[in-house]
Amino acid sequence: MAVRMKPVDVALVGGGATAAILGKELAEAGYSVVALERGRMRQTVPDFQSPYMHDELKYSVRHSLMQDPGTQTLTFRNFVGQKALPMRQLGSFLPGTGVGGAMVHWNGQTWRFQPESFVLRSWVNERYGSDFLPEDITIQDWGITYDELEPYYDFFEKICGTSGTAGNLAGQIQEGGNPFEGPRSEPYPNPPMKQAYAGHLFGEAAADLGYTPFPVPSSNVTRHYTNPYGARFQPCMYCGFCEHYGCEHFAKASPQVAILPFAMANENFELRTNAYVQRVEWDRGSKVATGVTYIDARGREVFQPANMVALCAFAHHNVVLMLNSGIGTPYDPSTGEGTVGRNYTYQTMSGATVFYPPDVQLNSFMGAGALGTAIDDFNTGSFDHSELGFVGGAYIAAYTTGGRPINRHPVPDGTPRWGTEWKQAVQRHYNSTATITVHGSSMPHRGNYIGLDPNYTDAFGQPLGMITFDFPHNDRLMSRYVTSKAWEIAEAMGGEQISVSWLDDHYSIVPYQTTHNTGGAIMGTDPTKSVVNKFLQSWDLHNLWVMGSSVFPQNAGYNPTDTVGALAYWAVDHMINDYLQDPRPLVPT
């Protein structure tokens, strides 16, 4: 018999970025909110303190801030018909656990999606024709436009203290910024990071080839800054420990620094840790969510009644929760029907490495997660695809995220994998190697989706989520095209030797690529092809909302966090100012 808690207005599943945003805003609007976080409490002090934080073995190798696959994991296969196997160690992506979620260990790369991304289906049809893409590329419009989202992007960037150079201010292209971005209503709240030498060399080569380099927008904050909530940031020290780590300097925007203290200060908000949500309970007759059931720290099953539920867990986890709760119609790849699990997308990563002579010292240990110089000439809306046969694109960037010795030991092709020669090569190249990243979009394919595994269960006895994913042909073409452009820039950077990392033949769950899992509970205009409407409200249960990158109908060639944050503010605005005053489906069907 489950323990029954006192009812609340809103139950949030998760204690990361979007839960912090919703918790802060809803509590302030007067609603009682409980956020249910499966992990433990974490604060900058004492949990992210130097020198213990700078432990590469503990955090980068053993993934101490991440989900424990021994409790819950996913199974994976490349295509329908293969037997999916459980991911017993984290690899390709690193879902966070604990308060702050993945926004604790993120890098701080804070990109907006281009206006074209939000209306991709219409844009492609209009510009290239409706038969330009094969039918199995199931791109969709989001139901929202860039202009609608812009004020929320702007606000989220102010919350994060994002540092950068605007490239488009109210339609006016700005010197030094990204000319391919959508119009900004205001400049970044903080000036860009000091650019690293590798980025400088990349920028010079790119400019010589006629491209427009600019500093990557960064939520590693560049000066003392107070955000609109009153959170005080301190400047980034370029210590090179962002990704996989918490920030000890109060410099990287994490929920702990930027948002949570202002939710926690409100008595309407409760953050309940060690609460592992199992499912959303809902009434089959009236079609409303009634609360959530979770397992608490003592192993008890607990029911938390709520008038409204928002799924704020990691991307695929929101989808698995819906499937395990029996909400909506599971997507069926054989018919292409059903919505929950549909359009699971990822990111199409490739790159190039430039090996310089020993006198070129790049000091890569002087880094920050979002310290990079980029060009955006090859992203979705930046160039003409009509002769190329694909849609999408990528930004190309030279990042200097840190020189941590376990993970960073670049050696040229042909170097032995171990032994004396390998060590000599590492010593020779460690400080003289620049890395170029091609951060590619991911288009949805009819065969790529999230379902429930028929064989494997988690520690609680529930079916594991099952990911079926491989790179669509469209994305292979995209990756080949943009990677070849990156190669040209690498050639122009004047090194001694270059290696190019082309996209793998098949997606593999093993090597780390990015933690940018997207889709599966997508937003859209058609209830038969999307899970939530343009306000992130479930088509099926009007008091259920889905946050995070789960709602992206397809993934753009950018990091998702800025869009995740903007969408959360967009959604909570409509919850407070419309829905909660008169609960109903905000988009009639």
Partner 1 sequence: MWRLSQPALTVGLILAAGAAGQTQEFADADVENGQAIAVGTFEPSPGGACFRCHGMEGAGDGAAGFPRLTDQAYEYMVESLREYASGERPNQIMQPIAAALSEQEMRDVSAYYASLEDAPYPPQTDVEPDVVQQGAILSAIGAPEEGIQACVNCHGPEGIGLPPTYPFIGGQHATYLRQQLELFRQGERQGQNGIMVYIARQMTDEQLEAAVQYFASLRPEGVTPEGESRPVTGAAPPPGIAPIPEDIPGVD
CA nearest 340: which of 312, 320, 360, 356? 320
Tokens of 556: 């753009």
Kindly identify the residues of this chain, within the stretch 521-580, that bind partner 1 according to CB under 8 A. none
What is the rounded CA–CA span in Å between residue 469 and residue 385?
A: 24
Q: Which stretch binds partner 1 (CB under 8 A): 212-220, 355-363, 418-426, 506-514?
A: 355-363
Kindly identify the residues of this chain, within the stretch 87-126, that bind partner 1 according to CB under 8 A. none
Q: Which stretch binds partner 1 (CB under 8 A): 39-47, 299-307, 368-376, 574-582?
A: 39-47
Examine the residue annotation and report whether 516 is marked as an active-site residue of this protein.
yes
- Spot the catalytic one: 105, 249, 385, 516: 516
Residue 285 CB, shortest distance to partner 1, in Å, is: 50
Q: Which stretch binds partner 1 (CB under 8 A): 122-130, 182-190, 216-224, 283-291?
A: 216-224
Give the 3-state secondary structure of 238-295: CECCCCCCCCCCCCECCHHHHCHHHHHCCCCEEEECCCEEEEEEEECCCCEEEEEEEE
What is the rounded CA–CA span in Å between residue 100 and residue 196?
A: 29
What is the rounded CA–CA span in Å between residue 479 and residue 283?
A: 46
Kindly identify the residues of this chain, within the stretch 240-299, that bind partner 1 according to CB under 8 A. 248-250
Beta strands in 59-175 (DSSP E): 74-77, 85-86, 168-169, 172-173
What is the rounded CA–CA span in Å between residue 249 and residue 247?
A: 6
Bin 539: left if φ > 0, else alpha if -120 < ψ < 50, else beta. alpha
Q: Which of 64, 168, 234, 525 binds partner 1 (CB under 8 A)?
A: 234
CA nearest 68: which of 102, 97, 44? 97
Q: Which of 222, 339, 513, 549 binds partner 1 (CB under 8 A)?
A: 222
What is the rounded CA–CA span in Å between residue 529 and residue 138?
A: 10
461 part of the interface to partner 1, by CB under 8 A: no
Q: Which of 3, 30, 40, 49 binds partner 1 (CB under 8 A)?
A: 49
Per DSSP, the three-state class of 463 is strand
Q: Which stretch binds partner 1 (CB under 8 A): 228-236, 315-323, 410-418, 494-502?
A: 228-236
Q: What is the DSSP string of 290-356?
A: EEEEEE-TTS-EEEEEEEEEEE-S-HHHHHHHHHHHT-SPBPBTTTTB--BTEEEE--EEEEEEEEP
Tell me the number of residues near partner 1 by CB under 8 A.
Answer: 26
Name which of 159 and 327 has its Cβ closer to partner 1. 159
Interface map 374-413 toward partner 1 (x if CB under 8 A) = -----------------------------x----------
Name which of 198 and 568 has its Cβ closer to partner 1. 198
Q: Which of 40, 232, 423, 506 binds partner 1 (CB under 8 A)?
A: 232
Tokens 């205001």 identify what position? 186
Residue 222 CB, shortest distance to partner 1, in Å, is: 7
Residue 261 CB, shortest distance to partner 1, in Å, is: 10
Per DSSP, the three-state class of 26 is helix
Q: 115: how many CB neighbours lie within 10 A of its CB?
A: 18
Q: Which of 28, 29, 41, 50 binds partner 1 (CB under 8 A)?
A: 50
Name which of 185 and 226 has its Cβ closer to partner 1. 226
Name which of 51 and 210 has its Cβ closer to partner 1. 51
What is the rounded CA–CA span in Å between residue 568 and residue 144?
A: 13
Please tell me whether the peptide bond between 183 and the residue prior to it is cis, using omega within 30 degrees of 0. Answer: no
45 part of the interface to partner 1, by CB under 8 A: yes
Rounded to 5, what percent of the chain is helix, strand, coil? Answer: 25, 25, 55
Interface map 151-180 toward partner 1 (x if CB under 8 A) = ------------------------------
Give the 3-state secondary structure of 537-554: EECCCCCEEECCHHHCCC
Residue 53 CB, shortest distance to partner 1, in Å, is: 9
Kindly identify the residues of this chain, within the stretch 360-379, that bind partner 1 according to CB under 8 A. 361-363, 365
422 part of the interface to partner 1, by CB under 8 A: no
Q: 253: how many CB neighbours lie within 10 A of its CB?
A: 31
Residue 249 CB, shortest distance to partner 1, in Å, is: 6
The residues that are catalytic are: 516
Contact set with partner 1 (CB under 8 A)? 44-46, 49-51, 222-224, 232, 234-237, 239, 248-250, 359, 361-363, 365, 403, 430-431
